[in-house]
Amino acid sequence: MKRWIRASRPARRRGAQRTRLRQDAVPAAHRLRRGPPSTCASRLRAAGFTLLEILVVVLIIGIMTAVMVLSMNFSGHDTELRTESKRLLALMKYTRDQAELQTRNYGIVFGRHGYEFVVYGVRSGAWRQVFEDEVLRERTLPPGLDFKLVVDARSIVLHDKLEVPSASGRSSAKKAHAGGADSNTSPAPGSQAGADSGSASASDSTEFAPQVMIFSSGDLSSFKITVERPSTGRSITLHVDQNGDIVEKPTGEKRS
């Protein structure tokens, strides 16, 4: 009996040690697997962003973009100036092509704040507005932009209002054609005055000549037209080079 008790005591000790090892090992394993609470929270935070964080990032990007756009505009990139100069360049090239295709002489009338294309009527022998082409209508510069014109190395004084012969010759011709259809009708009172006014307008249109000529051969008169913004001193000049091409030359801000 004593031997059995002595033999069972080491077995109980070994069982108790194993139980302690198991109890000690389980929490340690859990700690290794789960980790500390702070580590879990950081992992959850790293898995995504909150709505507030996203809004803050979007706001920062918007502010940086606005600053870049404003800095570009104030550093010399005038959008209106570039747009108007490119439009004028494109219209001049278009009119040049039309002059060669139609074998007609065109011209450009410049004012201080606008311009318009005119065409020479062979039958009437005078310059008139291009009423048959809406692309060549009168155009006005945005506020703050002005024109400066030099023709044959001579500065041209530009007026605020365009001086262009109207297309009244077209309407008067229609009226004359309609009146001539009835040969028995007698002239109405005041017809002499109308004839006098018609002859006066015809003489004015005959004496008129555009400042810049675009000939049917494709040649152009020597000119330099400058679109400028006086408040900043920035400008773009269009002129004819040695090859006969219309080119643009940007100019930076004037230095005092």
Q: Which residue has the higher pLDDT, 57 or 12?
A: 57
pLDDT above 50 for 200: no
> Phi/psi at 156 (nearest 5 deg)?
-105, 130
Q: How far is CA 103 from the centre of its chain?
A: 32
Helix (H) or strand (E) holding 155: strand 154-156
C-beta separation of 150 from 224 below 8 A: yes
User: What number is the average pLDDT over the span 21-50?
Assistant: 57
- State residue 164's pLDDT score: 78
- Candidate ranges 23-37, 63-77, 218-232; pick with highest mean pLDDT: 218-232
pLDDT band at residue 196 under the 50/70/90 scheme: very low
Contacts 24+ apart (CB under 8 A), 71-79: 76/234, 76/252, 76/253, 78/229, 78/232, 78/234
Residue 72, pLDDT > 60, answer no
Alpha carbon dihedral 19, 25, 26, 28, in 10-degree steps, equals: 150
Q: Minimum mean pLDDT among 62-71, 197-206, 229-238: which range?
A: 197-206
Tokens of 80: 């209106």
Local confidence band at 252 (pLDDT 50, 70, 90 cut-offs): low
Model confidence at 40, in pLDDT bands (50, 70, 90)? low
Which pLDDT tens digit goes with each residue over 213-239? Answer: 999 999 999 999 999 999 888 899 999
Q: Which residue has the higher pLDDT, 58 or 44?
A: 58
Contact assessment for residue 232 and residue 144, using Cβ atoms and an 8 Å cutoff: no
Report the distance separating Cα 207 and Cα 210, nearest Å.
10
Check residue 141 and give its pLDDT. 93
Q: What CA–CA distance (Å, rounded) separates 108 from 253?
A: 28
Q: What is the mean pLDDT of residues 101-126?
A: 93
Residue holding tokens 């530009």? 158
181 vs 84, higher pLDDT: 84
Is the predicted pLDDT of residue 96 greater than 90, yes or no?
Answer: yes
Lowest mean pLDDT among 4-8, 18-22, 76-80: 4-8
Q: Which two structure tokens, joined as six digits, stand for 214?
A: 């675009």
Q: Half-sphere exposure (CA, 13 Å, Cβ side) for 184?
A: 0
Hey, what domains does the chain have and what are their CATH numbers? 2-70 (no CATH), 79-176+194-251 (3.55.40.10)
pLDDT of residue 232: 84
